[in-house]
Structure 1
Amino acid sequence: MDTFAIGDQDFLLNDEPFRVLSGAIHYFRVHPDLWADRIHKARLMGLNTIETYVPWNEHAPVPGSFHTDDGLDLGRFLDLVAAEGMRAIVRPGPYICAEWDNGGLPAWLFSDPTVGVRSSEPGYLAAVSSYLEAVLAVVVPRQITHGGPVILLQIENEYGAFGKDKEYLQHLVDLSKRSGVDVPLFTCDQPFGTMIEDGSLPELHKTGTFGSRAEERLAFLRERQPTGPLMCAEFWNGWFDNWGTHHHTTGAAASAAELDALLTAGASVNIYMFHGGTNFGFTNGANDKGIYEPTITSYDYDAPLSEDGHPTAKYFAFRDVIAKHFPVPEEVPSERVPLPTSVVTVSESVHLLSAAVAASQVPGPIPPVEVTGRYRGFSLYQTSLETGGILSFSEVRDRAQFFLDGFPLGTLSRELGERTIAVPAGGRLQILLEDQGRVNYGQRIGESKGLMGPALLNGVEVLDWEIGSVDLDSLAAFREAATGLPVGGTTAGVAGPSVSFATFEADGPGDRFLRLDGWTKGNAFINGFNLGRYWSRGPQRTLYVPGPLIREGANELAILELHGSATREASFAVGPDLGPDEK
């Protein structure tokens, strides 16, 4: 039986010193047919371990569920890591941050206002226990002590930046051990102030998270943990992007120099990210430190392996650094070959508000969208108004488009702090509400989405709303209701909000990059798969289409456009365009 342990100065694999050279790949951000390719390329860069988070809200979209099919098959992912001859680190949270919707915490958990967040509150602990038991049923049989790849398991995640509830941390430790975890448990926190002490327990191995000044950060960590291996559990070699900003990049040479300093100091490392992947569908998170900033669809992260799985200059710079300290394979992955371009023209469309949305009457004040039982995407509020005037809300979470008898009145944005709109007298008011991503860091984790009441028309509360969710899990109802677009050229455009359809031919599976120049804002789908959000404000200009989504013969492109387009065309580009870099 293999063993993995914490020694006085080193990690010990079968009682021999072992340096963890890890790279982060989030299985839930990568098409499952591409997992083996990404893992293999990590080994070719010289890594010996793969690290992943586990997103609670993705595995358990509703209470009492735990899905492990298709792209959520954590067991299969870990088996592929083992098949590549690599080790694995699992970080199940329950909070993961990760620029992921709600930091991985399920929105349904907070429909009960008494439930605590990341604390020893009993309702929260009960839900966490059920989740972790399900995760560990997958992980425990795959520990190194059972012949599997898993060598380390993380407790919580950067908890010292949020709280210091030791009873909560102890609960996670005790549950893990009762469930059969016998590999070392660790915590990770930023090496600042008291975060490392606040976010851990004496019995847990402490690691740091940082992207620069490696020697200084390691010295800080060593002061607080005199023995045991030094490790940077998140070596930030890039960054994520928000809508309306530039594309963040970090120089390959500068990042490689920091990695060299880490390895020269004898530390272990987990490169965050080795391969970022994509926030498909409505899975992106957001920040709110006074201004709400939703994260874009691409999670390329300026990582060594690009969003579509190709080596970058950073990949080769890191490989050269690792080769100074450890053997690396001779094989190197091939670089991206430009793809052929093509144009697709939508030919049918259906107005979104005319499509069936199952709505329920909710008596009393205007409710959050969670009352629908769906926790992502779009919701529709409706009511009839006899008088006009100024309609206001305490807050809009996150973006609301207003229509009176189908006529657009305007948009309110949380990002801009907008809360009031003028509405004419009389008619049917419809409000299309977009959840742009739940906050994934800080004290606003777990907050409700929707139009926050009271809803006041000229200072008088509007009660008894109808509310329903827009079901985009299947596009069948939209496809069935779609009709041919009126006669006009390709520049005639498409009115929004609507769902439009096009068909294109392909020789078989293969990556694509969808470009939507002339379209404004919405989501795009290939053969029913939600690629994620697009927005003309950028920075990203293309959406990554994983090759396995494309089939031989006819394929379908669907575009949910919220405002309107200046064209009926979309195109497949030669490569990714994630926007201008910071200068």
Structure 2
Amino acid sequence: MCQREGLRADSSHFTLDGVPIRIQGGSIHYFRVPRSYWRDRLLKLKACGLNTLATYVPWNLHEPMKGVYRFEEHLDLEEYIRLAAELDLWVILRPGPYICAELDLGGLPSWLLRDKNMKLRTTYPGFTAAVNSYFDKLIPRVTPLQFSRGGPIIAMQVENEYGSYAKDEQYLTFIKEALLSRGVTELLLTSDNRAGLKCGGVEGVLQAINLQKLSYGAMQYLADMQPQKPLLVMEYWCGWFDVWGKPHHVFSAQDMIAEVKELLDRGISFNLYMFHGGSSFGFTNGAVDLGSYRPQVNSYDYDAPLTESGDYTTKYNLLRDVLGNYQNRELLQLPAVQGRKVYEPVVLSQHMSLWESIRCTDMPFRSNDPVNMENLPVNYNSGQSYGYTLYETTIYRGGALNSRNHVRDKALVFIDKHFIGILDYRTQEIAVPHSERERILGLLVENCGRVNFGPVLDEQRKGLVGDITLNHTPLKRFTMYSLELTPNFINRLQTLTWKSTNEKPLYPAFFRGNLTVTGQPSDTFVKMPGWSKGAVFVNGQNLGRHWSIGPQNTLYLPASWLKSGDNQVVVFEEHRAGEQMQFAENPQHCKTIDVSRQPFCTIA
């Protein structure tokens, strides 16, 4: 087979195999979409009139423990790229190693933070050695899929939005050479917001921009930086992400279409971020900290043209009309929408206290001082990434318990298994009742999501990250239990004795019930009315957090996680259980806000 000429950026327009092209792309993250729906979502992208698929590659999911790699099932990146090729889509691959993407730690694995001197996204030897080991596994999987070798990959991104970080002048050169030395031959690019363009470039690499409004001369600024180069909006933001406790973000279809029309009229290539957002299942969500810490929700709907469950929207239909008119050709027939079902409510008739469940954890770890999650000796000494850690110690008096701001991110505080209060970023001291006898002080500390953007990445260790004091004296002699709430842990819980909910639960607690599916399973959305905060598991799969503060009031449950017949439902609840789990045909949110009407940080 003759070698094809890859994507070139040598003039005011792109060429591919010598033919002028315009990139009209959309982002869909394979790791946020059930594998059984990959084809459906990519067909819908194609049917909308787009020609390019863009995706990040999450290091933290592909190497969850140091030296342990996962490229199977929903993480089969090669199969995802081959599917794009089968559907005649080009691919822009964004392998990181940092990706942001509103993922925990921006897609970097938390075990990197076991090194107390770690300097993420720099040429610090501990970081570059880890990147090299990861790229040794990742890059050879994708180089055979490059366009010049017959595959669909036309470009690869060098890291992500480094201009907003820019702590090491040599770092982008290191990443560029790491790609080139492993056989990457396609066009390399960077992408930054307007403010980051100045510091986000590297010699020989095309710069692209991320934005939502084509105002303030952003495109002209990029054009002036790169004369006689094609313009690319690597992320045109169709919407925005949500954080717990704030409104659901929307961005009007009319405003989006007006911007897309301007991009088309000016001959600018673009990638819609997100075209289909999907879900940050489990505990993989990240957080923002722009002066105050706020974890992100599990839904990554993003108010995108395709909804979290793959439905068409007004944005999709308008976009398809516009692209069809500009291309002056008939587009693919629209694929059918998957049906959804509102199942009968599930009564969770059994419960088990957290204190009983710790028998299913690994052996507890004992230390004179509290140890943060990442440095716990679990997961083959890769530490704990997600979930909760229970810290226990003996106290002999009451008084003022002060966290010294060492709780990351939230601790439920117990005396002899009875809840007495919460320590977090806002509340750093609570009163411990006095007693003449020794008692067990317990702190159930939750990682609500590591920050994924900004200068504080190196500071994202979770659990107890330092001493806590009782009457100004640091507490010692801790016993620690790792509670990541993995599928294996949820399955082990079934071997223990559960109590009837006729008996009053001791919180936090797990609740168990059964969802009966008649016939072929369908997608649905889970509602938790009357419940406070925790996580939902169906057949061992972690759907994500339920939290009464919103804005997300439902959790997406794909049909592929269900089976005909009995399906086991387990709910972890911190404070207050409702009477049942309910279902809905469509997602539900609290109040909404138009993202264009409020200041927001330019990250994605």
> What range is the shorter-chain TM-score in?
over 0.9
1:535 equivalent to 2:547? Answer yes
Q: 1:185 aligns with which of 181, 185, 188?
A: 188
- For 1:481, what is the secondary structure of its paired residue? coil
338-347 vs 13-22, which moves further: 338-347
User: Which residue number in structure 2 is paired with residue 117 of structure 1?
Assistant: 120
- Cα 1:32/1:407, change in 2 over 3 Å: same
**Aligned pairs for 1:260-409 within 5 A:** 260-326=261-327, 327-334=329-336, 339-355=341-357, 356=359, 357-372=361-376, 373-395=383-405, 396-409=407-420
1:582 equivalent to 2:584? Answer no
Contact 2:43/2:335 (<8 A) preserved: no
327-336 vs 227-236, which moves further: 327-336
Q: 1:166 aligns with which of 164, 169, 172?
A: 169
Contact 1:46/1:328 (<8 A) preserved: no
User: Which residue number in structure 1 is paired with residue 205 of structure 2?
Assistant: 204
467-476 vs 377-386, which moves further: 467-476
Cα deviation 1:213-244 (Å, max 9, x = unaligned):
26832111101111221000000010000011
Q: 1:62 aligns with which of 39, 62, 65?
A: 65
User: Which residue number in structure 1 is paired with residue 135 of structure 2?
Assistant: 132
1:532 CA drift (Å): 0.5
1:337 CA drift (Å): 5.3
1:2 equivalent to 2:13? Answer no
1:504 CA drift (Å): 1.8
1:561 CA drift (Å): 0.7
- For 2:593, what is the secondary structure of its paired residue? coil
Cα deviation 1:175-230 (Å, max 9, x = unaligned):
111100000000001123xx213111121101000011268321111011112210
Partner Cα separation in structure 2 for residue 53 and residue 214 of structure 1: 27
Partner Cα separation in structure 2 for residue 365 and residue 188 of structure 1: 43
Gaps of at least 5 residues in structure 2 are 377-382, 595-604
Q: 2:456 aligns with which of 422, 436, 444?
A: 444
Partner Cα separation in structure 2 for residue 471 and residue 121 of structure 1: 29
Partner Cα separation in structure 2 for residue 457 and residue 217 of structure 1: 54
- For 1:242, what is the secondary structure of its paired residue? coil
Q: 1:28 aligns with which of 10, 23, 31?
A: 31
395-404 vs 424-433, which moves further: 424-433
- For 1:517, what is the secondary structure of its paired residue? coil
- For 2:256, what is the secondary structure of its paired residue? helix
User: Which residue number in structure 2 is paired with residue 19 of structure 1?
Assistant: 22
User: Which residue number in structure 1 is paired with residue 496 of structure 2?
Assistant: 481
User: Which residue number in structure 1 is paired with residue 523 of structure 2?
Assistant: 511
1:336 CA drift (Å): 6.7
Contact 2:534/2:547 (<8 A) preserved: yes
User: Which residue number in structure 2 is paired with residue 466 of structure 1?
Assistant: 479
Structure 1 counterpart of 2:495, which letter? E
Contact 1:25/1:275 (<8 A) preserved: yes
- Cα 1:37/1:330, change in 2 over 3 Å: closer
- For 2:346, what is the secondary structure of its paired residue? strand
- Cα 1:299/1:494, change in 2 over 3 Å: farther
Tell me the TM-score normalized by structure 1: 0.95
1:163 CA drift (Å): 0.6
Contact 2:97/2:108 (<8 A) preserved: yes
Partner Cα separation in structure 1 for residue 97 and residue 330 of structure 2: 34
Tell me the TM-score normalized by structure 2: 0.92
79-88 vs 5-14, which moves further: 5-14
Structure 1 counterpart of 2:530, which letter? G
Partner Cα separation in structure 2 for residue 185 and residue 570 of structure 1: 48
Partner Cα separation in structure 1 for residue 60 and residue 403 of structure 2: 28
Contact 1:191/1:209 (<8 A) preserved: yes
1:494 CA drift (Å): 5.4
User: Which residue number in structure 1 is paired with residue 430 of structure 2?
Assistant: 421
Contact 1:164/1:199 (<8 A) preserved: no
- For 1:344, what is the secondary structure of its paired residue? coil
Contact 1:495/1:563 (<8 A) preserved: no
- For 1:139, what is the secondary structure of its paired residue? helix
Partner Cα separation in structure 1 for residue 39 and residue 338 of structure 2: 18
Partner Cα separation in structure 2 for residue 133 and residue 385 of structure 1: 50
Cα deviation 1:110-147 (Å, max 9, x = unaligned):
21122211111111111111112222111101101111
- For 1:208, what is the secondary structure of its paired residue? strand
Partner Cα separation in structure 1 for residue 86 and residue 338 of structure 2: 25
- For 1:343, what is the secondary structure of its paired residue? coil
- For 2:140, what is the secondary structure of its paired residue? helix
1:495 CA drift (Å): 5.0
Contact 1:49/1:89 (<8 A) preserved: yes
1:249 CA drift (Å): 0.2
Cα deviation 1:238-263 (Å, max 9, x = unaligned):
00000111110000011011011111
- For 1:463, what is the secondary structure of its paired residue? coil
1:339 CA drift (Å): 3.0
User: Which residue number in structure 1 is paired with residue 248 of structure 2?
Assistant: 247
Percent identity reads 37
1:410 CA drift (Å): 1.1
Partner Cα separation in structure 1 for residue 46 and residue 137 of structure 2: 29
Cα deviation 1:334-372 (Å, max 9, x = unaligned):
457563342111121111122113354443332212222
- For 2:456, what is the secondary structure of its paired residue? coil
User: Which residue number in structure 1 is paired with residue 559 of structure 2?
Assistant: 547
Gaps of at least 5 residues in structure 1 are none
Contact 1:297/1:534 (<8 A) preserved: no
1:38 equivalent to 2:38? Answer no
Partner Cα separation in structure 1 for residue 303 and residue 532 of structure 2: 25
Structure 2 counterpart of 1:112, which letter? D
Partner Cα separation in structure 2 for residue 359 and residue 535 of structure 1: 30
- Cα 1:348/1:318, change in 2 over 3 Å: same
Q: 1:147 aligns with which of 138, 144, 150?
A: 150
1:317 CA drift (Å): 1.4
- For 2:513, what is the secondary structure of its paired residue? strand
Contact 2:341/2:522 (<8 A) preserved: no
- Cα 1:555/1:380, change in 2 over 3 Å: same
Q: 2:88 aligns with which of 85, 90, 111?
A: 85
User: Which residue number in structure 2 is paired with residue 524 of structure 1?
Assistant: 536
- Cα 1:177/1:486, change in 2 over 3 Å: closer
Contact 2:46/2:332 (<8 A) preserved: no
1:164 CA drift (Å): 5.4
